């Protein structure tokens, strides 16, 4: 037997032949997608094309009807998997806990029960809140934020987890052009600086020049963009 060549490190996120159906209706028809570490990829497609479904399958929120998803080489079979813990999510519906302040909503993502946040945790939470222009809102509760502020808090929350895979579903939907670009820039810089793979779903073509690559989805099928 010959020795196996040194294996390249597994890609942060790989989807192979992923199909998904809601009842009888198949909405993903065999998606193949690989995200490399350090790249930010835009998933562009019109409303109803399958972006949210693809992200939900990639994050373990939905099981594919067939095909497979791996995170750093480990199979993802559900939200409780070890693999799923390596995926951070910016959900369209938001993910802020209402009885925690904005800053606490970040800290709770990484600081496990029983451990107090360190000064370094707090400093990083503050740095991220500053990056999304929410430093002045750090002590507020989510119900006292605007829709755009909530969306930016969710982005900061996902970045704070330092997960190697970050999936963001329309993270700029409630933002004006300048803030939308700032958030896209932040996600791209996060990929570059931390080596994370970032996939952001959007139907907004205005910020595509900021990501490393675009893949388009139409009627549940991918085609490579630029
Ligand atoms: N829970 C569900 N049950 C049945 N069909 C669904 C469900 N969720 C989505 N669909 C259908 O699956 C298809 C893809 O929906 P999906 O939400 O993934 O698209 P999208 O590209 O994210 O759209 P949008 O940009 O409007 O959020 C659509 O035809 C939608 O009607």
Measured in Å, residue 60 CA sits from the centre of ligand 1 at 16
Instruction: Report yes or no: 206 and 176 within 8 Å, Cβ to Cβ.
Output: no
User: In angstroms, rounded to a whole number, what is the distance separating the alpha carbons of residues 165 and 196?
Assistant: 6
Closest CA to 22 of 47, 53, 61: 53
Measured in Å, residue 55 CA sits from the centre of ligand 1 at 11
User: Domains of the chain: which residue ranges?
Assistant: 13-224
Tokens of 216: 């388009």
Ligand 1 atom nearest residue 50's Cα: 18
Note the pLDDT of residue 114: 64
Tokens of 180: 């939308």
User: In angstroms, rounded to a whole number, what is the distance separating the alpha carbons of residues 81 and 180?
Assistant: 32
Strand partners, 74: 71
Residue 164 has pLDDT above 70, yes or no: yes
φ/ψ of 72, rounded to 5, equals 50, 40
Mean pLDDT of 128-139: 94
H helices, E strands: number in the chain: 5, 10
Confidence of residue 127 (pLDDT cuts 50, 70, 90): very high
What is the CATH code of the structural domain delimited by 13-224? 3.40.50.300
Mean pLDDT of 165-170: 94
User: Against a cut of 0.80, is the pTM above it?
Assistant: yes
Ligand 1 atom nearest residue 201's Cα: 22
- Measured from CB, residues less than 6 Å from any atom of ligand 1 are 22, 27, 45, 47-53, 203
Residue 198 has pLDDT above 90, yes or no: yes
Note the pLDDT of residue 67: 96
The torsion defined by the Cα of 141, 100, 134 and 119, in degrees rounded to 10, comes to 150
Measured in Å, residue 218 CA sits from the centre of ligand 1 at 12
Confidence of residue 224 (pLDDT cuts 50, 70, 90): low
User: Can you spell out the DSSP letters for 13-44?
Assistant: EEEEEEEEEETTEEEEEEEEEEE-TT-EEEEE
Mean pLDDT of 186-215: 91
User: In angstroms, rounded to a whole number, what is the distance separating the alpha carbons of residues 137 and 112?
Assistant: 23
Residue 177 has pLDDT above 70, yes or no: yes
Which of 53, 63, 167, 200 for mutating ligand 1's site (highest number of atoms within 8 Å of CB)?
A: 53
Note the pLDDT of residue 206: 76
CA torsion sign for 169, 173, 177, 182 is: negative
Task: Kindly report which listed range (143-147, 155-159, 191-195, 206-210) carries the lowest average pLDDT score.
Answer: 206-210
Confidence of residue 226 (pLDDT cuts 50, 70, 90): very low
């Amino acid at each position: 037997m010959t020795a196996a060549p040194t294996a390249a490190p597994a890609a942060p996120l790989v989807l192979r032949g992923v199909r998904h159906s809601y009842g009888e209706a198949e909405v993903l028809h065999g998606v193949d997608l690989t995200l490399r570490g350090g790249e930010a990829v835009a998933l562009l497609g019109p409303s109803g094309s399958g972006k949210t479904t693809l992200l939900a399958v990639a994050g373990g929120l939905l099981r594919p009807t067939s095909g497979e998803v791996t995170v750093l080489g480990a199979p993802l079979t559900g939200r409780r998997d070890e693999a799923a813990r390596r995926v951070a999510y910016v959900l369209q519906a938001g993910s802020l806990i209402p009885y925690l302040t904005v800053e606490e909503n970040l800290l709770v993502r990484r600081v496990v029960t029983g451990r107090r946040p360190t000064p370094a945790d707090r400093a990083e939470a503050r740095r991220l809140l500053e990056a999304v222009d929410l430093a002045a809102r750090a002590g507020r509760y989510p119900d006292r934020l605007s829709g755009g502020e909530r969306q930016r808090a969710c982005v900061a929350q996902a970045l704070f987890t330092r997960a190697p895979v970050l999936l963001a579903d329309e993270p700029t939907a409630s933002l004006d052009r300048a803030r939308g670009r700032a958030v896209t820039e932040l996600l791209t810089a996060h990929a570059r600086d931390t080596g994370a793979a970032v996939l952001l779903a959007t139907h907004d073509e205005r910020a595509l020049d900021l990501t490393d690559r675009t893949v388009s989805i139409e009627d549940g099928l991918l085609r490579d963009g630029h």
